[in-house]
Amino acid sequence: MPDTSQHKGNARESVIGSWPGVFWLFLLSLVLYIATANRGPQWQDSGDYIWRIVQGQLLSPLGLALSHPLHHWLGRGVTSFVPLEPSFAITLVSASAAAVAVACVYGCVVTLTANRVAALFAAISLALANTFWHLATITEVYTLSAALLAGECWCLVKYAREHRRVFLWGMLLLNGIGLANHLSAVLTMPVLAVVAVWAVRQRHVTPKDVAMGIGFWVIGALPYLCLVGQELMRSGDFWGTVGSALFGKSTHSYAGHVLNVSLSGKLLGASLVFVVYNFPNLLLPAAFYGMAQGRRVGVSALAKWALLAGFIIHSVFVLRYSVIDRHTFFLPMYVFLVLFGGIGAATVLQWPRSTWRRIVIGTGVCLLVVTPAFYAVGTAAARELGVLGSYVRNKPYRDDYAYLLLPWASAERSAERMSAEAVRLAGSSGLIVVEDPMAISAIRYKVWRTGLAELDVISASQSDSIRRAAVANRPVVLVPRKAELVGIPAPMGSWRHRGDLYVLDVAKTSRTTRPTATDSMVAP
């Protein structure tokens, strides 16, 4: 029988000694993410978040579920007190949260295994994971979710080891704060509920302690709960508010994706490729080994089954989630994977000294070191082979391979180039027409930063405004959905190609030589 008292003593010593590691991992990760962060306008949701934050627009036009109040208020805070380019300051929220997640993973694995080397392996694996690294260098809500989940797991495993109610309260509080950031936090609520019931049945805590923990959860979730309450009072529409809180507004509802119960082979295959691409090292085999062998390094049954349940729930949710950017929702699943990877690494480090053990450890270290190089080579190879195929969007100035496959966002500045070029071509009194809703926030942000009050930005659907601007002899610039394709006809004159954008030339009556999406309707 193993000497459990000795293991507990070593565990306490290792946990106390883990704090320098927690600090240094946070600091080094933060330096990495700041050095590789995007510093300007950004595409898609990132651009929308930046624009809403600088404009003080808490409620998303897409509904309550996409408002993310915790992230919004943190962004408002940094832009108020940090003297940096606002978009860069807001991105620092993502970078800081990611660094916190890496540090919490380290502390959690030390608590689980009393092995700081294994904890370092797990933490670095998360820090260098492609999607995690990328989301740490743009404005996004997912690294904040990962940080709160990692802290929640740390409290859970501390509770499983010490049975102190403060850790039960901590995991419930962090889950509530997680809900205030993103609704994915609800996925671990069933696990926490089971742990709380088990704790009461084992008489480690009282029902009063659990009730207080629920109170802490409510306090943590208040930013979102208050937003929902305010919207209900404003609209008076109970079911509409509930739908918006769970899935977004009816016109932009994600209910079909959230409640999807089908799983296509193509969807699953693409998801698994992304998982492997995020961990091109020994993390995945270590994680599955850790799931099977955790008890050998002293992981309690409660901690093992709670973490495994969380992993399964998140995996089932994201692997059948049918949105186009579903890989960004994988971060909670990755948090659980690296925790089990740390357990697996600790188990390997307990093997008797042998050639096989040295090979496994050496291979694990080498693959982790070359992970960034793998991303650079993999991106170039994917571009050469045309791996993305029909998934390439050809947005102005954007290399979709760099945008999707390189984790360092500092290398991909197409949104900034596109918006700066649009502003330059339009001048101080022009009109910028944007076909792509994923680009319009970046352009609005750039116009706002330049302070050009007479420069207007509109969507392509406002054709009357385009004609009026042309008649008034204002410069009109079109930002297309795809660089090689104009989606709307010129109200007069023709669209003339300028880089990846177009300007309206009213002096010409012939159509642009570039094809348009409406050619089939106007061709003779």
Which contacts (CB < 8 Å, 24+ apart) does range 300-305 have? 300/157, 300/160, 300/161, 302/160, 302/195, 302/198, 303/112, 303/156, 303/157, 303/160, 303/161
pLDDT (mean) for 276-303 = 93
Per-position b or e across 285-303, b if 16+ CB within 10 A of its CB: ebbebbbebbeebbbeebb
CB atoms closer than 10 angstroms to residue 18:
21
Paired strand residues for 407: none
* Predicted local confidence at residue 466, as pLDDT: 86
pLDDT, one tens digit per residue, over 37-92 is 999 999 999 999 999 999 999 999 989 989 999 999 999 999 999 899 999 999 99
Give the whole-angstrom CA distance, residue 431 versus residue 425: 10
User: End-to-end alpha-carbon separation of the chain, Å?
Assistant: 88
* Token code pair at residue 314: 């998140």
For the cut 80, the answer to whether the pLDDT of residue 355 exceeds it is yes
Spatial contact of 95 and 307, defined as CB atoms under 8 Å apart: no
β-strands 494-498, 456-459: how paired? unpaired
For the cut 60, the answer to whether the pLDDT of residue 451 exceeds it is yes
CB atoms closer than 10 angstroms to residue 356:
11
Please name which of 296, 283, 278, 302 lies closest in space to residue 345, comparing C-alpha atoms: 283
pLDDT (mean) for 387-407 = 89
For the cut 80, the answer to whether the pLDDT of residue 439 exceeds it is yes
Length of the chain equals: 524
Give me the half-sphere count of Cα atoms (radius 13 Å) on the Cβ side of residue 361.
15
The overall average pLDDT reported for the chain is 88
pLDDT, one tens digit per residue, over 501-511 is 999 988 754 44
pLDDT (mean) for 229-238 = 90
∠ CA 308-314-319, rounded to 5° = 120
For the cut 80, the answer to whether the pLDDT of residue 263 exceeds it is no
